[in-house]
Amino acid sequence: MVTNIKHLGIVENINGSRLKVKIVQSSACSACSVKGHCSASETKEKIIDVYNKNNVPCQVGERVMIVGTTSMGMKAVLLAFVLPFIVLLLALIISLKLTGGDEAVSALVALGTLIPYYLIIYICRNRLSRSFMFILESIYN
pLDDT, tens digit, 9 for 90 and up, residues 119-141 = 999 999 888 877 787 888 777 65
* Beta strand 63-69 pairing with 4-15: antiparallel
The domain limits of the chain are: 4-27+41-137
**Alpha-carbon span 75 to 133, nearest angstrom:** 12
**Alpha-carbon span 35 to 22, nearest angstrom:** 23
* pTM attached to this predicted model: 0.66
**Alpha-carbon span 91 to 106, nearest angstrom:** 8
- SS3 at position 27: coil
**Alpha-carbon span 96 to 106, nearest angstrom:** 5
pLDDT, tens digit, 9 for 90 and up, residues 81-111 = 999 999 999 999 999 999 998 999 999 999 9
